[in-house]
Structure 1
Amino acid sequence: MPLLESVDERLQQAMKWVLLATLPGMLALFWFYGWGVLINLMLAGASALGVEAAVLQLRKRPLKPTLSDCSALVSATLLALALPPYCPWWLTVSAAASAMLFGKHLYGGVGSNPFNPAMLGFALVMVTFPQQMTHWPASHGMDLSGGVQQVFGFGSNPDAWVRATALDSLRINKSLTMDELFSTNPAFGHFGGRGVEWVNLAFLAGGVFLLQRRVFSWHAPVGMLASLFVISLLCWNGTGSDSHGSPLFHLLTGASMLGAFFIVTEPVSGAKSPGAKLLFGVGVGLLTYLIRTWGGYPDGLAFAVLLMNLCVPALERFVAARQKRVAS
């Protein structure tokens, strides 16, 4: 029993560090998009905890040990940060409920899920409600009252309220050069998406903090960012109208840093051994770029993570067999 308590305490402490490390990215998102970010967080958190409590009651499991480990709150937070600010309330609730039901408790709860719960919830609403998932606000947002009206459908959309993201604009671009996109398209900033480049740097700072605290090892984040950089460099065809974007653009656009430090490092659905973690991150980076460039979705991180979740057993066996051959 003391050993189990020790494991639970370590899990709870790690989850608290992760929540703390999301603060820089959370504040950056709030600065650029306003109250919609906090509304998403509250809706996702309440929905995730409510669904988890209901499932535990149905399974006749004690509430306190599971709810207090903060794993549901972490999944809800990461999901809320990935969703578009000011998206309809039912979209956030559906995503959080799906993450808990189909990403976690369907397999027995925390420690048993083969898929990342947050990414499973995100992918399900992306496939089911693609139009709502691509409506990102174009401005710094609105006041709290206007934000609540927007989320709960009490008010109409202001003019030019939403726009395509930088990744989406690049994916459908046929005629403009990269220089023209950066100079004329309001979705583009200095190096990546307007505002999103600073959000990515904020999540990078949070990720470095977690590395310093040894919450996770460097293998999966470095594997993902390195492979995303290399493949975007190899496929980068300059600044012409057929360009897929520079390596810096891909690192500072979309959910790159959130994925590298807060998603691929998920300890249950991800790889366990250092070598498998590295390969897992490499696979996520490669698939993210391929889906962004030639797939049907502007940012393929969620689908890349879920596909690599399926490969974890094979990666572990491959690394173990290779180590065995080297040792012999």
Structure 2
Amino acid sequence: MPVTDTSERLRSTMMLVLLACLPGVLTLLWQHGWGTLFNLILCAGSTLASEALLLKLQQRPVLAALNDGSALVSATLLAVALPAYAPWWVPVVASASAIALGKHLYGGVGKNPFNPAMLGYAVALLTFPQHMTQWPGAQLLDAATSLQHVFGLSGNAQADAWSQATILDGLRNNRSLTIDELFSSHPGFGHLGGRGSEWVNLAFLLGGLLLLQRKVFSWHAPAGLLASLFIVSLLCWNGAGSDSNGSPLLHLFSGSTMLAAFFIATEPVSGPRSPQARLLFGLGMGILIYLIRTWGSYPDGTAFAVLLMNLCVPTLERWADRRNAVAP
């Protein structure tokens, strides 16, 4: 009976997380069109197929494990993080890697030391670097053209007609334009951050606040991430000159900031258990995201930030335990 209750609680939590992802997913569909839908279908199908195959090879119950919803949550987080219109093999490889390397390599649900979705994303980023930098611009593609791009029916040379560098990439590589000139000349810039990504971040913020209100997770990791990203970007903000690293608001509402804060940093298995450790976990993630965005080789850095902080979880937990032990 306790096992059944635990399974039901896990399934209910996963369904609530999927519901909270819905505003962000719908906003991405509005912004990027069919490519996001194809990512969701490919990631969900590949994740469930990989999960079923690995469970079968381990002679473990398949339907009960698939029914808990954890695989669908990983698939959704991976799908919204990947570039829309990426070739079909990118989400397939990323999803299979997330399940095999991020989950079943360590024993399955509840035993993974790394965030499965971000591990799959990192594998795709390292394996297919060119495809992972082709983000859609403002032009929406119709269903037929989208299918051609996703399934390789049109040459890669056509990607220049619909893709563009993200604003974080444009900001990092800017050498001569002021921030005002960059905002006016780059089609990807909006009012505060990236055009479209502002709305996407607001949508994931809304979903995250729902999960926070329902007590799916505590405030510590999201608050730590957003606070540290805001503070370090404020301290390193050098105005509107050509060497500017971007304002705090730009960093908060660009890239995958709110997705990272409320859906990645709060993953319960690979993250810390104690509130103090969660706060430090979020603080470290925010600092690493800024460092990678500004001086690293990748424009966003969420995946590598969370994977590096996953390595620090045992140390953070030991520190929190010692602190609680000496507290009066």
TM-score, normalised via structure 1 length: 0.98
Which one is further off, 139-148 or 283-292? 139-148
Q: What is the Cα deviation at residue 219 of structure 1?
A: 0.7
Query: Counterpart amino acid of 1:213?
Result: R
- Which residue number corresponds to residue 249 of structure 1? 250
- Which residue number corresponds to residue 213 of structure 1? 214
- Which residue number corresponds to residue 20 of structure 2? 21
User: 2 CA distance for matches of 1:110 and 1:129?
Assistant: 27
User: 1 CA distance for matches of 2:58 and 2:139?
Assistant: 44
Flag structure 2 segments of 5+ consecutive residues without an equivalent: none
The count of residues paired between Structure 1 and Structure 2 equals: 326
Q: What is the Cα deviation at residue 278 of structure 1?
A: 0.7
Query: Counterpart amino acid of 1:41?
Result: L
User: 1 CA distance for matches of 2:64 and 2:220?
Assistant: 30
Structure 1 runs (4+) greater than 2 angstroms displaced: 155-160
The verdict on how the C-alpha distance between 1:158 and 1:302 changes in structure 2, with shifts beyond 3 A counting, is closer
User: 2 CA distance for matches of 1:275 and 1:161?
Assistant: 45
User: 2 CA distance for matches of 1:286 and 1:101?
Assistant: 29
- Which residue number corresponds to residue 168 of structure 2? 167
User: 1 CA distance for matches of 2:222 and 2:3?
Assistant: 28
Report Cα offsets for 1:249-291 as digits up to 9, x if no partner.
0000000000101101101001111111111011100100001
- Which residue number corresponds to residue 114 of structure 1? 113
User: 2 CA distance for matches of 1:128 and 1:158?
Assistant: 19
User: 1 CA distance for matches of 2:297 and 2:13?
Assistant: 35
User: 1 CA distance for matches of 2:186 and 2:160?
Assistant: 17
Flag structure 1 segments of 5+ consecutive residues without an equivalent: none
Q: What is the Cα deviation at residue 140 of structure 1?
A: 4.0
Query: Counterpart amino acid of 2:234?
Result: L
Q: Is the 8 A contact 1:11 1:69 kept in 2?
A: yes
Give the share of equivalent positions with the same residue, in percent.
63
User: 2 CA distance for matches of 1:167 and 1:99?
Assistant: 25
Q: Is the 8 A contact 1:22 1:206 kept in 2?
A: yes
Q: What is the Cα deviation at residue 55 of structure 1?
A: 0.3
The verdict on how the C-alpha distance between 1:307 and 1:159 changes in structure 2, with shifts beyond 3 A counting, is closer
Q: Is the 8 A contact 2:79 2:91 kept in 1?
A: yes
Q: What is the Cα deviation at residue 9 of structure 1?
A: 1.1
- Which residue number corresponds to residue 283 of structure 1? 284
User: 2 CA distance for matches of 1:141 and 1:91?
Assistant: 21
User: 2 CA distance for matches of 1:3 and 1:57?
Assistant: 24
Q: What is the Cα deviation at residue 153 of structure 1?
A: 0.9
Report Cα offsets for 1:161-184 as digits up to 9, x if no partner.
111000000010001111111111
User: 1 CA distance for matches of 2:176 and 2:327?
Assistant: 52
Query: Counterpart amino acid of 1:109?
Result: G
Q: Is the 8 A contact 2:135 2:163 kept in 1?
A: yes
